[in-house]
């Protein structure tokens, strides 16, 4: 696993911040947001791409691809995947991004602007903006010749990348897949668009408490950025080579709302189907799930829909408090297409380390959200099965199930 996040630029820094309940949210530093209703964000800090990647290569990559490559480097060093030709030819790279190189698009648009310098656009413009740039750079850097492409389904993108990686391995198309998601959208156009939608928190005077999933006083999400990368391997291959295994991917479920481009279905039909299908594919019962890393964006409608869907699928197991549910977005914000990637890492580490990260800023219970949200303080608990939810604009719903690895 590798991570570049608002809570730290490594897997361990990210995890330690989660367990400690730290916030990565603060006043927006990437640009002056004075004209916007939301002026806070969860930004990656102390990230010098020229040093981490090299000036020449970094200047030919959008920030989202830089994040992905650095996270992949940590993941590959952690995995110690053999470098022989046969293994690399059977290893893929499937990395998601909901938006891709939007910084490149914005910067180029501003530079061309009314000057109409269309004939002076950089030859690297298209290679930098394309969503598959992250997976392509990882493939080139490590000589991976298996299935290499991108997945884009808004805020469910990284969860969907996990499902495709899973399928490629199960089908025998790959023995291993470098997978996850990356996003970098803390820029005027993206934030301005979300402000116009009234989707983000306007708690500008109290940024560390702005993201408050499931809390009655939540008022929108906080935009984040970063990347999370995992190395998925075929089980017997990983065991045979003595790989360090954090968790096992048991299955997944996908379903669409078929309702609205940006609003969740008030009856949560797609979310319910996704979780039910994930349980069925994984061959487990609702009672076996001990933890759900919720999508939990801190929006009034989204959190309510998800909480009620969990209650519908898990019944008394959820309402009795036997099922822990938390949203780590309360600390790292909403990373859009990379959200499921860093949350997948959090879910797998919760299984491996026996600690459930909290939902911070949970202060005022919402009568419509009645589950155990692990409020404010991490909890020691040896969970055997956990689920990570990811839902995206367009009505995309994907739930991935991870199991504890006893080895």
Active site residue ranges: 155, 295, 334
Would you mind telling me the total number of residues written for the chain in this entry?
407
Classify the C-alpha dihedral 322-328-330-333 as positive or negative.
negative
Q: Report the SS3 class of residue 336.
A: helix
Phi/psi for 208 (5° steps) reads: -70, -20
Q: 115: how many CB neighbours lie within 10 A of its CB?
A: 8
Phi/psi for 127 (5° steps) reads: -60, -25
Distance CA 381, CA 351 (A): 9
Largest CA distance in the chain: 64
- CA-nearest of 312, 288, 341 to 11 is 341
- β-strands 247-256, 40-42: how paired? unpaired
DSSP for 175-191 reads SEEEEEEEE---SHHHH
């Amino acid at each position: 696993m590798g991570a570049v996040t608002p809570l730290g630029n490594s897997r361990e820094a990210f995890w330690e911040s989660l367990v400690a309940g730290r916030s990565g949210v603060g006043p927006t530093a990437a640009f002056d947001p004075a004209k916007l209703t939301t002026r806070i964000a969860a930004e990656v800090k102390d990230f010098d791409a020229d040093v981490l990647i090299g000036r020449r290569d970094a200047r030919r990559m959008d920030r989202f691809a830089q994040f992905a490559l650095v996270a992949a480097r940590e993941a590959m060093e952690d995995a110690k995947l053999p470098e022989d030709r046969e293994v690399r030819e059977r290893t893929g790279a499937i990395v998601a991004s909901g938006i891709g190189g939007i910084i490149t698009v914005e910067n180029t648009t501003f530079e061309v602007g009314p000057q109409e310098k269309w004939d002076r656009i950089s030859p690297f413009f298209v290679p930098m903006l394309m969503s598959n740039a992250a997976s392509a750079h990882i493939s080139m850097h490590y000589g991976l010749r298996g299935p290499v492409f991108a997945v884009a389904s808004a805020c469910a993108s990284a969860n969907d990348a996990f499902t495709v990686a899973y399928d490629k391995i199960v089908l025998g198309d790959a023995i291993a897949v470098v997978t996850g998601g990356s996003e970098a959208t803390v820029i005027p156009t993206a934030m301005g668009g979300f402000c116009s939608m009234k989707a983000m928190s306007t708690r500008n005077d109290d940024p560390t408490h702005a993201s408050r999933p499931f809390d009655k006083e939540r008022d929108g999400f906080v935009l984040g950025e970063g990347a999370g990368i995992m190395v998925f391997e075929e089980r017997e291959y990983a065991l045979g080579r003595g790989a360090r295994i954090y968790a096992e991917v048991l299955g997944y479920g996908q379903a669409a709302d078929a309702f609205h481009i940006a609003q969740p279905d008030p009856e949560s039909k797609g979310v319910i189907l996704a979780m039910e299908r994930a349980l069925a594919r994984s061959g487990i019962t609702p009672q076996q799930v001990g933890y759900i890393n919720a999508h939990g964006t801190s929006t009034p409608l989204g959190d309510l829909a998800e909480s009620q869907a969990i209650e519908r699928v898990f019944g008394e197991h959820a309402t009795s408090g036997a099922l822990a549910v938390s949203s780590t977005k309360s600390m790292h914000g909403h990373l859009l297409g990379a959200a499921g990637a860093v949350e997948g890492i959090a879910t797998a580490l919760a299984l491996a380390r026996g600690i459930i990260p909290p939902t911070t800023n949970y202060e005022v219970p919402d009568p419509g959200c009645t589950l155990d949200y692990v409020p404010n303080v991490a909890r020691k608990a040896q969970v055997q099965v956990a689920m990570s939810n990811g839902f995206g604009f367009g009505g995309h719903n994907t739930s991935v199930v991870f199991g504890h690895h006893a080895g």
